[in-house]
């Protein structure tokens, strides 16, 4: 089945015109004709330059036409770079690639240890690239069209028990400025269930401690209001009164959480902080940036919250995304039943 381009034809026409002017991939043929295909990257490096220019055009298309979030665009661009390097190695331009080339590329990823979900995401990125090329009339066929996504096992997200969360939140040393910041950050994330990107881009204006609310800007620029628990509000107030002013020295950006130099905290910086406290608490998990978000959702469902309410709090556009936590909740119920029901397990009879 042919996929329709997502952007409007006028904008794509401008994009195609700019691409045709900056690259010799299309040549100078009449717009009504099929674009000619180049013979492959030349040894003088001009083919590689063409590919780099095309990749940048695609990036701008995702940002300006598709209006995708920056993190999403970075993921597409990173995946595409790997594919384009593969094509350069094969001495092929994107318009020359066949289904066998894409299949070989995906097989190479699997052999390098990429899990099925990563391979599937790479295929999605390459598909988006060819949708753009065809819509902009920079290619005549889509080599990904008949390729199937790898079969994915549904992996349940890692969660912490309520006791584990309490142990984790008790680790930061609130007598220091950075310790208080860390305590406020972890409490805030568990209280709101926000994504890491939402945590790191939260601003001073996005929280209302009097109303105990967080105005969260999620994926696709969608805004939602999330309550903040009283424990998190108390620590946040202390952090905003003492620790944050000392870190920013009265200057710096308006982000809620900052690093030791008073600047915006990075995703890697947050992961290192979380990993440090997970190790201190001796939690038997591989620290994941979203472990508190997953725990937030699961604990709400365990407490009897409605699935639609949890969906709204998490900012999921589809209820099917939220339903994975009901599976976690069922696993929890099974474990409770197994531990406490008198006839849940059959006793073993040794010596029979």
| Alpha-carbon distance values, 296 to 16, 18, 193, 242, 281 (Å) | 46, 47, 5, 28, 18
- Do 138 and 19 touch, CB atoms closer than 8 A? yes
All residues at 6 or more sequence positions from 102 whose CB lies less than 8 Å from its CB, including other chains? 83, 123, 126, 143, 144, 147
Catalytic annotation, residues = 195, 219, 290, 293, 316, 325
Instruction: Tell the burial category of 131 from Cβ atoms under 10 Å away from its Cβ (0-12, 13-18, 19+).
Output: buried
Nearest Cα residue to 138 out of 11, 2, 12, 26: 26
| Residue 121 phi, psi (nearest 5) | -65, -40
- Do 238 and 187 touch, CB atoms closer than 8 A? no
Sign of CA dihedral 233, 234, 239, 242: positive
d(CA 194, CA 269): 17
* Tokens coding 20: 């045709």
**Cβ of 198: how many Cβ atoms within 10 Å?**
21
| Alpha-carbon distance values, 161 to 17, 165, 240, 310 (Å) | 56, 6, 29, 18
Using DSSP's 3-state secondary structure scheme, residue 208 falls into strand
* Tokens coding 24: 């010799």
d(CA 138, CA 144): 16
């Amino acid at each position: 089945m042919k996929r329709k381009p997502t952007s409007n034809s006028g904008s794509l026409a401008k994009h195609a015109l700019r691409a045709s002017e900056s690259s010799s991939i299309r040549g100078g043929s009449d717009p009504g004709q099929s674009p000619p295909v180049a013979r492959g990257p030349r040894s003088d490096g001009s083919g590689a330059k063409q590919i780099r220019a095309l990749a940048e055009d695609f990036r701008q298309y995702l940002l300006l036409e598709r209006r995708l979030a920056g993190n999403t665009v970075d993921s597409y661009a990173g995946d595409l770079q790997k594919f384009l390097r593969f094509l350069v190695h094969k001495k092929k331009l994107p318009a020359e690639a066949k289904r066998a080339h894409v299949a070989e590329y995906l097989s190479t990823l699997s052999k390098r240890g990429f899990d099925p979900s990563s391979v599937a995401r790479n295929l999605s990125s390459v598909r988006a690239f060819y949708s753009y090329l065809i819509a902009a009339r920079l290619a005549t066929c889509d080599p990904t069209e008949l390729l199937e996504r790898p079969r994915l096992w549904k992996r349940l997200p890692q969660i912490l028990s309520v006791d584990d969360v309490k142990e984790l939140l008790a680790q930061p040393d609130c007598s220091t400025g950075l310790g208080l910041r860390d305590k406020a950050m972890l409490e805030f994330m568990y209280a709101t269930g926000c994504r890491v990107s939402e945590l790191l881009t939260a601003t001073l204006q996005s929280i209302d401690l009097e109303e105990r609310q967080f105005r969260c800007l999620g994926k696709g620029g969608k805004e939602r209001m999330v309550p903040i628990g009283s424990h998190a509000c108390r620590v946040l107030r202390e952090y905003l009164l003492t620790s944050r002013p000392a870190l920013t020295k009265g200057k710096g950006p308006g982000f809620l959480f900052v690093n030791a130099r008073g600047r915006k905290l990075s995703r890697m910086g947050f992961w290192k902080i979380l990993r440090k406290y997970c190790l201190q608490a001796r939690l038997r998990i591989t620290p994941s940036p979203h472990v508190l978000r997953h725990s937030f959702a699961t604990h709400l469902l365990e407490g009897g919250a409605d699935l639609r309410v949890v969906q709204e709090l998490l900012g999921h556009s589809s209820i099917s995304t939220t339903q994975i936590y009901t599976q976690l909740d069922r696993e929890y119920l099974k474990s409770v039943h197994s531990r406490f029901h008198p006839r849940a397990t059959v006793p073993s009879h040794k010596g029979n």
